[in-house]
Structure 1
Amino acid sequence: MVLAVLAAWASLVGGGTAWAHAGPRPALLWGAVEPVASGVSYREFSLTASHGPVRGHLLTADLRSPRVSLDLLYPGSVAARSTVSRMAEARGAVGGVNGDFFDISEAQHPGVEATGAPVGPSVASGRGIGAAVPDGQRFGPPMPRGGSTRDVIGVGTDRTGRLDRLTLRGTVTAKGRRLPLRGFNQYALPVGGIGAYTPDWGAASRRRATCGTDTRRSAPCSDETYELTVQHGKVASESRAPGRGRIAAGTVVLVGRESGARELRRLRVGDRVRVERKLTGDGEGALRFAIGGFPVLRDGRPVAGLDGRTPAVRTSVGMAEQGRLFHLLALDGGPEYRSGLTVAELADVMRDIGADDAVNLDGGGSSTLVTRERGGHASVRNHPSGGAERPVANGVGVFVQT
């Protein structure tokens, strides 16, 4: 493939600090553009970063075309995993990348299974299906100062992309008392909290939700827990320990730990319970799609405090043209490119690609970018660093209406 120099990085507005120790910023070299579908294209690029050569794979989706849209790829349950290629094929996406960091290992909690659920909030086709875990319970590299597990990138009902922060607002009302709801289909609850689990959660055990603390993921599981199953607005059963298995339609399972558990113990089978919940953003208007990831680029400038030391294979999603043009990036994990980019370098790359705002998503063995021809199978364009696609919690899918 013939490569051409897109631009010399040193000439770009604002410069950058990620490359200062290595002298002049390296040139970004682009391969030929390949059309994927109307309004969607794919291309490769290469560069020499601070820790070695890097190859990247980029999928660009133009939401200015009314036929093009983005939505969440997920396996049908919040607490489940699948490969990006399988999720893209199942949903009919023309392409996509892996998404949020997720609960991948529970080695520090013997006897507790990892749930596979994502760190941050999820909105699929306009419906919130899960909220964020406490900051101290997240997986992934350190967030920059001011970052939160509630940070998302998404697209509003106005078809405009934006960075936002989604907060769970909810209550549990029973026996004349209104209790705050502090969790919704998430793998970790705040200490003393009550969480709601719906059929969207899936069949995974809810025990993990009561392990760790708000500041330390590896802290022991709580020994004070309680669970209520609420069917059609009434308590149907109770248990001292969180359970597992699929949740029936019309059913909400409430899990409490510490003071939250003590509140749930006040209720009995047959008591009426009303559970209300909503994910609310800081931006205007509802989000039709959202996925968790911490910002690395805002208004064309790298976020302060990004790590500039640790390189890795990475995935990112960025926006341009006032949120109407999306860039989905996954680095190649082949042996010759595996050193990857630091988070600070990633921010510079996303800006040089043309993004104004961007987030860092799960990387390493999770980084995957796929494209799919109409009616065909999804093709993995990068080389996953583990040698094969890793099943992940979710992803960003690109769709073209026919």
Structure 2
Amino acid sequence: MTHRQRRFAATTRTLFTILTTSGVLAGAALAGAAPAGAVSDTGQIASGVSYRQFDVTAAKGTVHAHLLTVDLADPHVHVDLLDPGAAAARSPVSTMADAAGAVAGVNGDFFNITETQHPGVEATGASVGPAIAHGRLLKAAVPTAQRFGPSLPPGTDTTDVLGVGVDRRARLDRLALVGTVRTPDGNLALRGLNQYALAQNSVGAYTAAWGPASRKRATCGSDTSRAAGCSTDTYEVRIRGGKVVDTADSPGSGAIAAGTTVLLGREAGADQLRRLTQGERVTVRRQMVASASKVPYRFAVGGYPVLRGGEPLAGLNDTTAAVRTAAGYTSGGRRLLLLALDGAVAYRSGLTIAEVADEMRKLGAVDAFSLDGGGSTTMVARTAGAKTVSVLNHPTDSPERAVANGIGVFWKP
């Protein structure tokens, strides 16, 4: 064992001491026995959920990795979205995991973390891509030019997701919003749902799932530049009980009541909404259409693919290294792999995206997906007998960064 490995074993020994007495980490009363010879850097969190840590030799130095392996074929196990209670909000992974009752988890999608390019406009904290939790659609993807995060590999965009269907199989897919606003004068295309950015000349919908954050950010940027200015040609319409109940010339803020939908338009979309008057009947319909699967999704989170069919995508960045979070699957989508790198100073050199794809392939993944990294990279799990999760890696941010969402691992008897 190297000096670094000994140091990490010592760092995590307290967390995993329970292995020597009860044989498992999380859900001790529920899970079966741990593998024989379990040591401080590996263990069973619950039946169907295991953890290990290991070193990876990379071009810019040795990095330390943490891996959760989730058996989706185990009837006691499932994964779902961890979220802070609103699309436009942030919370630490550990807080979201504890609130949801998860036994383990990692951070999720990239998100609207800052607004230095738009003075006076607050960052919403909302994620870039689509999000589905408990089979319910929370939000759609922002225009690709308005995403936060590293450059995307060729042929990918903000509609890419990692999801698990009602068939309990993980897969990579794309989820596009298809929606209609039916008005007395005809139908309008709905091109946004609970998003921090709308396409130019479009109409988007905001529901109670958005939260109390201002909707101003949605009218900033353009279809080619996130840094473009904010539109001054905007209009909002509030729909309740299928009728227009209020209108406004600028984006509002504050919680949206259950059963209420706020339509926000910019440029040509604003002109379309100005034709509506109070009392008119308006119906908003929306759905997410998958490009690859006909199986409905129970869970989906945004990011971007790095590995398909066991082969890295063409054009992956092989020069910029960072602390990363990734997910992948094997066994026909029945086995999910969640990888988080350690952000301790000794290992902060990180991996390039090309190296992430290669490592996920070595771990057995057929398809793999990059999630948010850097200060967002966090892995948590619940030790035996504990009521709350512990952070397994060393995040580069201290205290733990608040993020838009995550992937939660759940165990039920």
Q: Under a length normalisation based on structure 1, what TM-score does the superposition of the two structures give? A: 0.92
State the match for 1:56 in structure 2.
Answer: 65
Q: Name the Cα RMSD after superposition.
A: 1.4
Structure 1 stretches lacking a partner, 5+ long? 4-29
> Which structure 2 residues correspond to residues 291-310 of structure 1 after superposition, within 5 A?
291-310=301-320
- 1:304-340 deviation line (CA, Å, top 9, x unaligned): 1100000000000110100000011110001011110
> Is 2:74 aligned against 1:33?
no
Distance of 1:356 and 1:45 partners within structure 2: 21
State the match for 1:200 in structure 2.
Answer: 209
State the match for 1:73 in structure 2.
Answer: 82
Distance of 2:41 and 2:341 partners within structure 1: 17
Q: Tell me the CA shift for residue 269 of structure 1.
A: 1.0
State the match for 2:396 in structure 1.
Answer: 385
Q: Tell me the CA shift for residue 31 of structure 1.
A: 7.8
> Is 2:93 aligned against 1:84?
yes
Q: Tell me the CA shift for residue 165 of structure 1.
A: 0.1
What number of residue pairs does the alignment pair up? 377
- 1:30-60 deviation line (CA, Å, top 9, x unaligned): 9853110111011001022111110011111
> Which structure 2 residues correspond to residues 276-355 of structure 1 after superposition, within 5 A?
276-282=285-291, 283-355=293-365
Distance of 1:300 and 1:36 partners within structure 2: 28
State the match for 1:240 in structure 2.
Answer: 249
Where does structure 1 differ by over 2 angstroms across 4 or more consecutive aligned residues?
30-33
Q: Tell me the CA shift for residue 386 of structure 1.
A: 1.7
Q: Tell me the CA shift for residue 375 of structure 1.
A: 5.1
Partner letter of residue 60 of structure 2? H
State the match for 1:214 in structure 2.
Answer: 223
- 1:180-207 deviation line (CA, Å, top 9, x unaligned): 0000001000000000000000011000
| Counterpart pick for 1:141 among 150, 153, 163 | 150
Q: Secondary structure at the match of 2:91?
A: coil
> Which structure 2 residues correspond to residues 168-183 of structure 1 after superposition, within 5 A?
168-183=177-192
Distance of 2:60 and 2:411 partners within structure 1: 37
In 2, are the aligned partners of 1:31 and 1:45 still within 8 Å (CA)?
no
- 1:321-379 deviation line (CA, Å, top 9, x unaligned): 00000011110001011110000000001111111111000000000000013652110
Q: Tell me the CA shift for residue 387 of structure 1.
A: 2.7
State the match for 2:174 in structure 1.
Answer: 165
State the match for 2:240 in structure 1.
Answer: 231
Q: Tell me the CA shift for residue 101 of structure 1.
A: 0.2
Q: Under a length normalisation based on structure 2, what TM-score does the superposition of the two structures give? A: 0.89
Q: Secondary structure at the match of 1:348?
A: helix
Structure 2 stretches lacking a partner, 5+ long? 6-38
- 1:171-229 deviation line (CA, Å, top 9, x unaligned): 00111310000000010000000000000000110000000011100000011000011
Seq. identity, %: 58
Q: Secondary structure at the match of 1:245?
A: coil
> Is 2:399 aligned against 1:399?
no
Distance of 2:235 and 2:377 partners within structure 1: 37
Q: Tell me the CA shift for residue 121 of structure 1.
A: 0.1
